[in-house]
Amino acid sequence: MKKSKKTELHILLACGAFVLISALAVLIHYSYTPINPYGNKDAMVIVDIPTGSSFVKVTEILNKAGLIKSRYLFYYLALTKRAFRSIHAGEYEFSDSMTPGEVLDKLLSGDIKRYRTTIPEDLTIKEIAERLMKDRLIVEKEFMELAYDRDFLNTLGIKAKSIEGYLFPNTYDFDRSMSTRQIMKIMHSQFLKRVTPEMVKKAKELGLVDLNQFVTFASIVGKESGNQPEKKTISAVFHNRLKKRMPLQSDPTAVYDLEDFSGKIRRSHLKRKSPYNTYIVRGLPPGPIANPGIDSLNAALNPEQVNYLYFVSKKDGTHYFSASLDMHNQAAKQYRDIKYKKQ
């Protein structure tokens, strides 16, 4: 009788061990087998995991995206990895050629999809917002409201009336879990890293009395030319005009605060009353008209040693510089005539 019970116990233990080993083998096979063995690695599926989602909710989202073939096995796999409370919210990029184990590891590590975004030098805040909106990284209305929000600007230590000029042009890796406010703070933190106290001190020595004037001057230089080699010459023209108390007469300033600017500057624009229009107002406008990069900032601090007071576009992205009004008028006529001949 005792021998029979021992035999039964051994059989039960052997069966249990067999079931356990079989279940473990199935789970391991499931974990390392691609969701779709014939899946295309280049065909990506975008999945958004909202903040606060339960593991059941995460599983439903993955299932709808075609990334789970067996919910039960996925639950057991998650149990072995203690994943029920460790999933990071955010936007993820998966391929159905991935294994369930890889999918789960990606969720646990928070390897969310990132958008490499390049913000070129000398864009306005409106132009930056358009760039960020292409990848749906910001809420445009919130971005523009924050740009002028006094409380928000105070938290950043910005004394100007807007964030214009203080978002540094650079290449960033953003993700959609970031708020509009966070993205703006990241861009401003780069400004603080690149614009040093030594640069501000040098700007004061050149007559730009504070940070806002320095950035404003650099933004005008940047908007006047995208040609990096001649920025220092343009800087020299504006420094020379300020010293002589001549109006800067910068076209980009005349249209900066226009809501419906079409892209073509007209004579009427140069005559319009605006605190930014340097054809009407002597000296610098009240704030930056763009967000200058390091080239424009350095040009503002290192003007070329020339006596030029005027420049005119050659219609090829560069300018012709003059020291006298007569020479400038002749050059303006010359390049205007060339333009008409091309038309």
* Mean per-residue pLDDT, 112-122: 94
188 shares a domain with 241: no
Structural domain includes residue 83 = yes
Q: Are strands 44-49 and 90-95 parallel, antiparallel or unpaired?
A: antiparallel
**Confidence category of residue 100, pLDDT binned at 50, 70, 90:** confident
Looking up tokens 């560069």, which residue turns up?
318
The tokens describing 241, both together, are 């005009």
With a cut of 70, say whether residue 98 has pLDDT above it.
yes
What's the mean per-residue pLDDT of the chain? 87
- Give me the half-sphere count of Cα atoms (radius 13 Å) on the Cβ side of residue 177: 16
Range of the domain at 137: 115-194
pLDDT, position 183: 97
Distance CA 169, CA 221 (A): 15
185 shares a domain with 162: yes
Distance CA 173, CA 130 (A): 17
Structural domain includes residue 236 = yes
pLDDT, position 342: 42
Q: Which of 79-88, 275-284, 315-324 shows the lowest per-residue confidence on average (mean pLDDT)?
A: 79-88
Structural domain includes residue 182 = yes
Grouping H, G, I as helix, E, B as strand and the rest as coil, residue 312 is strand
120 shares a domain with 56: no
With a cut of 70, say whether residue 27 has pLDDT above it.
no
Q: Which of 66-80, 103-117, 144-158 shows the lowest per-residue confidence on average (mean pLDDT)?
A: 66-80
Structural domain includes residue 81 = yes
With a cut of 70, say whether residue 42 has pLDDT above it.
no
Q: Which of 106-115, 124-133, 202-211 shows the lowest per-residue confidence on average (mean pLDDT)?
A: 106-115
Q: Is 228 exposed, middle or buried (0-12, 13-18, 19+ CB in 10 A)?
A: middle
What lies within 8 Å, CB to CB, of 9 at 6+ separation is none
201 shares a domain with 303: yes
245 shares a domain with 161: no
> Where among 109, 124, 145 does a domain terminate?
109
Structural domain includes residue 343 = no
Specify the DSSP element, H or E, that contains 231: helix 231-243
pLDDT, position 24: 60
Q: CB count, 10 Å around CB of 68?
A: 20
pLDDT, position 40: 66
Looking up tokens 């358009």, which residue turns up?
130
Distance CA 86, CA 72 (A): 18
Domain count of the chain? 3
Structural domain includes residue 159 = yes
Between the two ends of the chain, the Cα-to-Cα distance in Å is 111
Distance CA 66, CA 79 (A): 21
> Where among 194, 221, 244 does a domain terminate?
194
* Mean per-residue pLDDT, 76-90: 80
> Among residues of the chain, what percentage have pLDDT more than 90?
55
Grouping H, G, I as helix, E, B as strand and the rest as coil, residue 214 is helix
Structural domain includes residue 323 = no
273 shares a domain with 241: yes
231 shares a domain with 264: yes
Structural domain includes residue 218 = yes
> Among residues of the chain, what percentage have pLDDT more than 70?
87
250 shares a domain with 148: no
* Mean per-residue pLDDT, 258-270: 83
- What single letter denotes the amino acid at residue 86? S
> Where among 176, 194, 212 does a domain terminate?
194
* Mean per-residue pLDDT, 182-197: 97
What lies within 8 Å, CB to CB, of 297 at 6+ separation is 194, 195, 199, 214, 215, 218
60 shares a domain with 124: no
